[in-house]
Amino acid sequence: MIYSSLGYYSLFLGLITSVPIFFFSIKNFNNKAVLDYKIITFSFIQLFLVFISFLGLVFSFVYSDFSNETVFNNSHTTKPLFYKISGTWGNHEGSLLLWLMVLTLFIFLFLIKSKELLKKYRILTVLFQQIIIIGFFIFLLKSSNPFNYIFPAPSEGMGLNPILQDPALAIHPPILYLGYVGSSVIFSSVLAATTLNYISKIWAIHIKSWILISWIFLTLGILLGSIWAYYELGWGGFWFWDPVENVSLMPWLALTTLLHCILILEKRSLLGSWVIILSIATFTLSMCGTFLVRSGILNSVHTFANDPERGLYILTFLSILVFISLFIFFVFYKSDDQNPNSFFLFGKETSILINNWFMMYFLSVVLIGTVYPIFLEVISSQKISVGPPFYHKLIIPFLIPFLIFMAIGPQLKWIKAGLEKRFQLLILFIISMLISFLIVKNLEINFLVNTILIGSAFYLFLITIRDFFLKKFKNIQQNLAHFGFSILILSILFNNIFSRELITNLKVGESFKNDRFQIIFNDLKKSEEKNYISFRGNFTIRENGIEDELKPELRVYNQPNIITSEADIVTTLFTDKFITMNTVQNEEYFNIRYQLKPFMLWIWISVLLISIGGLISLFKKKGYDK
């Protein structure tokens, strides 16, 4: 109980700390001297108090303090220590406290890292960020208090959802939140810069680091979530267009577009309005994701709160922030863009702009597919689900020109119009289409679309490989990110084309055989773990003279009393063999699902390469692109 009390009062004092931050910021705003150190001091105190509050919740979980309502609802004495700690942010209240801690951390780091910039800009950024921070403080204390008290204290808790008891998901939310919350600093910064007419090359160089930090963490967070869903949920895939997957993808698309726009602003002082709108949109989409997940209106395995009142608060708060930001944009923004005629038809900035249009189209498709079912249900009470076919039909045709422009764009020059080594690019395009033609020719799939799509991905792949050597690893960060993206698209395409699946029912000792492979159900072993009973199947898979042993598992958790299915996966360089088992009600049979998933490893590797490209760019002093 002492940790909960410490956490609550620290949280309340953290809110009070916003008062002196506002006071000294306003007092110091027109002072020509350097930034008042008291602003930095109180920002640190606020961060420290929120950190203490978060530690109070962590220790409440570690010591199973069930007088704390959040601990009671999301923990149990038999839960392993690692999942007691990760359970701190595996719930609505704890995740928002983590969000608040990152908010305070980022604005403190911003003050430390922006000493050379305009003082008024720094102060205004702090003030805008404090508005967001105060909003989250009030939200936590009013409707999502992680330190609510239960009396008398129960002797046991309700436990954490078993599918959340996983190492990948334990680190997935903090990393994802670093990406989400990074967008708040970008948002506050762009509002401050717009108000002061400070949108410039100097500002672009500064904010680009924050964009990269947010983008890297968001990319890695989405990757971890995708890996978790692949092996934990038993879906056997990397992406299912689940609504909560989509709300993490949308800010990533906006942030990726923003990253490319900031390059043009840095090099040419162009697209300032794009940068402002995309900064606002990225933060808005991050907050919308928070609203949709916590309002209970999304039907998803990822949602863990069902309280419309909480969702209404976030939606109202977000609406106020959006109104303020749009007011500042229309009233204060004065375009310093150069003459639009300076955009050359075959210039690098033009290719970036065209691909930005494609990215905005992809974002619109995902947004409509996610939000439309919600509006339809509100208007007509009709429930529909928007699945992969919707996204595939609308995205794939436009992915082809997107990949081609992505390949050609880096070959163009800034300011000058012209295309380097045109003959080489043409030869590589022909080679890419020939490779694609040979792959698709003997497959029973749509010939024309897949040939062009695979060929476009190969074109990006070959050009980035060529650039690694011809340019002597110049712009390695850009090449690496584009190379990773080409591998991602190729891996997804081959995974979709060559995947195979078998679903059958088997008893222990039975086998199934077809013209491709044989599945033998050898035995089933029971064992008791700390907080669940395990039933582990032993299967032999024979295919093309190769024999593998796979051991999927059923777990019966004690608190809450839930049965989960744990996949077993044999991973090789080019193929995953994936198997799950489930009980068949009132039968001795088990439902067996066996899948061959080609190039799964390369999907994960490609996203890592993209992230590493961003990381190199972050630490490279000369910038992202020359």
3-state DSSP of 296-316: CCCCCCCCCCCCHHHHHHHHH
Residue for token digits 């490609």? 606
In degrees and rounded to multiples of 5, residue 226 shows phi and psi of -65, -40
Verify that 263 and 315 share a domain, yes or no: yes
107, 189: one domain = no
Same domain, 248 and 306: yes
pTM, two decimal places:
0.91
pLDDT band at 71 (very low <50, low <70, confident <90, very high): very high
Instruction: Note whether 458 and 432 are within 8 A (CB).
Output: yes
For 37-53, the pLDDT digits (tens) are: 899 999 999 999 999 99
Indicate whether 361 belongs to any domain: yes
With cut-offs at 50, 70 and 90, classify the pLDDT of residue 229.
Answer: confident
| Same domain flag for 145 and 209 | no
What is the C-alpha separation between 568 and 552, in angstroms, rounded? Answer: 5
pLDDT confidence bin for 343, thresholds 50/70/90 = low
| Of the residues 161, 190, 214, the one at which a domain ends | 161
61-70, 370-379, 530-539: least confidently modelled range: 370-379
484 located within any domain: no
pLDDT tops 50 at residue 621: yes
> Which pLDDT value is given to residue 625?
42
333 phi, psi to nearest 5 deg: -75, 125
What secondary structure does DSSP assign to 434-472, as a single string? HHHHHHHHTSSS-HHHHHHHHHHHHHHHHHHHHHHHHTT
Instruction: Name the percent of the chain in helix, strand, coil, to the closest 5.
Output: 65, 10, 25
C-alpha 227/C-alpha 233 separation (Å) is: 10
Q: Could you tell me if 143 and 174 lie in one domain?
A: no
Instruction: Say whether pLDDT at 299 is over 60.
Output: no
Judged against a pLDDT cut of 60, whether residue 104 lies above it is answered with: yes
Domain for residue 261, yes or no?
A: yes
What pLDDT score does 307 carry?
A: 61
Per DSSP, 621 falls in state: T
pLDDT of residue 300: 54
- Decide if 29 is inside a domain: yes
Please give the radius of gyration of the chain, using alpha carbons only, rounded to the nearest integer. Answer: 26
User: Helical H runs in 333-421?
Assistant: 348-380, 388-408
Range of the domain at 209: 166-420
- Range with the poorest average pLDDT among 38-52, 310-324, 570-584: 310-324
457 pLDDT above the threshold of 60: yes
Is pLDDT larger for residue 303 or for residue 137? 137
Give the model's pLDDT for residue 161. 76
Is 414 buried (19+), middle (13-18) or exposed (0-12) by CB count in 10 A?
A: middle
Question: How far is 9 from 4, CA to CA, in rounded Å?
Answer: 9
pLDDT for residue 622 is more than 60: no
The answer, yes or no, to whether residue 301 has pLDDT greater than 60, is no
Domain check: are 274 and 399 in the same one?
yes
Domain shared by 74 and 154, yes or no: yes
Give me the pLDDT at residue 623, please.
41
Final residue belonging to a domain, choices 133, 161, 189: 161
Are residues 270 and 309 both part of a single domain? yes
Q: Are strands 500-506 and 590-598 parallel, antiparallel or unpaired?
A: antiparallel
**Same domain as 139, residue 274:** no
pLDDT greater than 50 at residue 316: yes
Does 187 have pLDDT greater than 80? yes
Answer yes or no: is 146 within a domain. Answer: yes
Q: Average pLDDT in the 554-578 region? A: 88
186 and 149: one domain?
Answer: no
Percent of the chain with pLDDT over 90: 51
pLDDT in tens, 465-522: 988 888 767 788 889 999 999 999 999 999 988 888 889 999 999 999 888 889 999 9
Residue 279 lies in a domain: yes
In Å, how far are 97, 109, 263, 287, 583 from 316, measured between CA atoms?
19, 28, 34, 11, 45
Lowest pLDDT segment from 89-93, 398-402, 549-553: 89-93
- Based on the domain organization, do 144 and 220 belong to the same domain? no
User: Based on the structure, what is the number of domains in the chain?
Assistant: 3
Query: pLDDT category, 144, cuts 50, 70, 90?
Result: confident
Whether the pLDDT of residue 221 is over 90: the answer is yes
pLDDT of residue 294: 60
Token pair listed for 34: 């350097």
Confidence of residue 330 (pLDDT cuts 50, 70, 90): very high
What was the pLDDT predicted at 365? 96
Inside any domain, residue 480: no
Position 136 scores a pLDDT of: 93
Mean pLDDT over all residues of the chain? 87
In this predicted structure, what is the pLDDT of residue 36?
A: 78
Highest mean pLDDT among 88-102, 120-134, 261-275, 506-520: 120-134
pLDDT above 70 covers a percentage of the chain that reads 92
Is residue 626 over pLDDT 50? no
Which of the pair, 325 or 620, is modelled with greater confidence? Answer: 325
CA 115 – CA 448 distance, rounded (Å): 56
Q: What is the pLDDT of residue 33?
A: 72
pLDDT of amino acid 624: 38
pLDDT at 417 over 60: no
Answer yes or no: do 102 and 75 share one domain. yes
The more confidently predicted of residues 206 and 348 is 206
User: Is 468 inside a domain boundary?
Assistant: no
Question: Which of 420, 445, 475 is a domain's end point?
Answer: 420
Q: Helices 37-62 and 18-28 meet at what angle, rounded to 10?
A: 160
